[in-house]
Structure 1
Amino acid sequence: MFCYQFGVSGILKVKMVICRQRNEHYRSREYLTLAEVNRLIMAAELRGRHPIRDKALLLLMFRHGLRVSEAISLRWDAVMLELKAIGITRLKGSVSGTHPLQADEVESLRDLRAEGYPDPYLFVGERGGHLKRHAVTSLINRCAELAQLGIKCHPHMLRHSCGYHLANQGLDTRLIQDWLGHRNIQHTVTYTMLNPKRFGEIQWG
């Protein structure tokens, strides 16, 4: 995109402005199906130096609809394995809450804790402290390639995938809103609109 400006001297100046395309320009959809998410998580177990950490990270990001910033900020003092629960601190003005943990999540977190990293964060980077955003992005890209998903992935797709999966089960919109921490239910309605089952009563002869 080019903008034309005239300076004080009357000389024409040409200024190029680079406009970022919307995500829809780069990919056909912003979520993964449950089968695709499972393939992504399986790929995390097969690659890299930290398969236990990486599997737990992707599993929790999907199950709890975590933004990447929320995932890398998770601390062990928010994990209650004996109660099978985890405290989710939402960012960007969303509503925090406590979520139940499924049996495979508890097992994955116990395996992660057994690695014995002396760090308050669940997902520790190579030099200590929590993982960085770019490391999570790189991880998901490599796992998507290994899983041969055929779609360009980014971390926020796991949050969208969670919302889509919940809506696909026909769950109440308010429940999905609470799970994802949305203050505005219109953000939640986006996922119910993606659910093809709502058109199930339409017949063509």
Structure 2
Amino acid sequence: MENVKIPLNLFIEYLQIEKNYSEYTIVCYKRDIEEFIEFMKREAIADFSEVTYADVRLFLTDLHKRHQASRSVARKISSLRSFYKFLLREKKVEENPFSLASLPKKEQKVPKFLYSEELESLFHVNDLNTAIGQRNQALIELLYATGIRVSECCQIQLTDIDFSVSTILVHGKGKKQRYVPFGSYAKEALERYIRDGREQLLRKAKTSHKYLFLNFRGNPLTPRGVRNILNEIVEKAAITQKISPHVLRHTFATHLLNEGADMRTVQELLGHAHLSSTQVYTHVTKNRLRNIYLHTHPRA
């Protein structure tokens, strides 16, 4: 199957150079296509040009038998459809067998978020007299204040922060950049951490660097490290539900919309390329629905 590796490598180069996709996105594309290549091996299909729509249906049946989530199947179809469009452009195949494959309906899951009371308890468990406590406070304040992704949070450097106007330059997906504001609580926590806690942690590092959030060795914090820190904070706050960095992102978006922010603004702040990604946050809390009803219905 050596002849299938060359088109795949060319496609990866295309995604890197022409499309300027992020490393994570490229890894996902590569994994999906390699899974299809394994299917081709099992079915004794030697080349991408030999794949028919019947083979595609068999591949999708195989995914269904393995109980793959509809969201995962949809992504694989999209990846392979894009791959075949590239092969068509390069004249490696004569048709795109994935063009007829329909995407399964996505499961509409309401994002998990925290109510204000639950969130408030998270801000009172860190020991602000220690470097680690100052870091953790700055971390959770910033995640809620900005709604940034955990990967974006870990990439922040000191030079990205402008305290004069309380904004951060965030490096998002696909190497896109955006400025995100933060409030007074996050500003106070960040200034305390940078002035004191970060300096203490940085002394433990072998080399100096400008990354904002550091682990106990003074090295840049990783997304996994952020998740572990949140788990510790949740345990201290005695909150029963599991909280991930993405739950704080969901909470940020939900609270903004519930307080009257327009969707386009929230889309910009979250760094969503499409408004449809932001529309999932248009759910509102039962309390807000009840308050609106009580204040607006003539016979409430």
TM-score category of the 2 structures, normalised to the smaller one: 0.7 to 0.9
**CA shift at 1:185, angstroms?**
0.7
Q: Distance in 2 between matches of 1:67 and 1:168?
A: 21
What's the Cα RMSD here?
3.1
Alpha carbons 1:166, 1:176 under 8 Å: kept: yes
Q: CA deviation at 1:105?
A: 2.0
1:104 is aligned to 185
Matched ranges for 1:187-202 at <5 A? 187-196=277-286, 197=288, 200-201=292-293
Q: Is the 8 A contact 1:137 1:154 kept in 2?
A: yes
The verdict on how the C-alpha distance between 1:94 and 1:174 changes in structure 2, with shifts beyond 3 A counting, is: farther
Provide the residue aligned with 1:30 in structure 2. Answer: 112
| CA distance 1:198–1:173, shift in 2 (3 Å) | farther
* Helix, strand or coil at the partner of 2:112: coil
Which residue identity lines up with residue 265 of structure 2 in the other structure?
L
Q: Does 1:114 align with 2:195?
A: yes
Larger RCO: Structure 1 or Structure 2 (Cα < 8 Å, ≥ 6 residues apart)? 1
Superposition map of 1:110-189 within 5 A: 110-115=191-196, 116=199, 117=202, 118-189=208-279
CA distance in 1, matches of 2:164, 2:151: 26
Q: Is the alpha carbon distance of 1:194 and 1:106 closer, same or farther for their aligned partners in structure 2, counting shifts above 3 Å?
A: same
Q: Could you say which structure has the higher strand fraction?
A: 1
Other structure's SS at 1:88 match:
strand
Q: 2:153 aligns with which of 58, 71, 89?
A: 71
Deviation (angstroms), 1:194: 3.4
**1:17 CA displacement:** 5.3
Cα distance in 2 between the residues matched to 1:17 and 1:47: 51
Give secondary structure in 1 for the equivalent of 2:123.
Answer: helix
Q: Offset of 1:186 from its aligned partner?
A: 1.2
Q: TM-score by structure 2 length?
A: 0.54
CA contact (8 A) 1:119 1:128 kept: no
Does structure 2 retain, via aligned residues, the 8 Å contact 1:63–1:162?
yes
Output the CA distance in 2 between the equivalents of 1:139 and 1:67.
15
Gaps of 5+ in 2: 1-41, 43-64, 72-109, 203-207
**SS where residue 124 of structure 2 aligns?**
helix
Tell me if the contact between 1:167 and 1:195 (Cα under 8 Å) persists in the aligned partners: no
Deviation at 1:85, TM superposition (A): 2.1
TM-score, reference length from structure 1: 0.77
CA distance in 2, matches of 1:34, 1:96: 29
Determine which of 52, 70, 80 is the counterpart of 2:162: 80
Question: Which segments of 5 or more consecutive residues in structure 1 lack a partner in the other structure?
Answer: 1-6, 8-15, 23-27
Equivalent residue for 1:44, pick from 104, 112, 126: 126
Query: 1:179 and 1:45, CA in 2 relative to 1: closer, same or farther beyond 3 A?
Result: farther
Q: 1:170 to 1:153 in 2, by over 3 A?
A: same
Q: Which has the higher helix share?
A: 2
How far the C-alpha of 1:198 sits from its partner, in A, is 5.5
**Counterpart-to-counterpart distance in 2, 1:170 and 1:44:** 31
Query: What amino acid does structure 1 have at the position aligned with 2:134?
Result: I
Rounded to whole Å, the distance in 2 between the matches of 1:165 and 1:114 is: 30
- Per the TM alignment, residue 18 of structure 1 is displaced from its structure 2 partner at its CA by 7.8
Say how many residue pairs are matched. 186
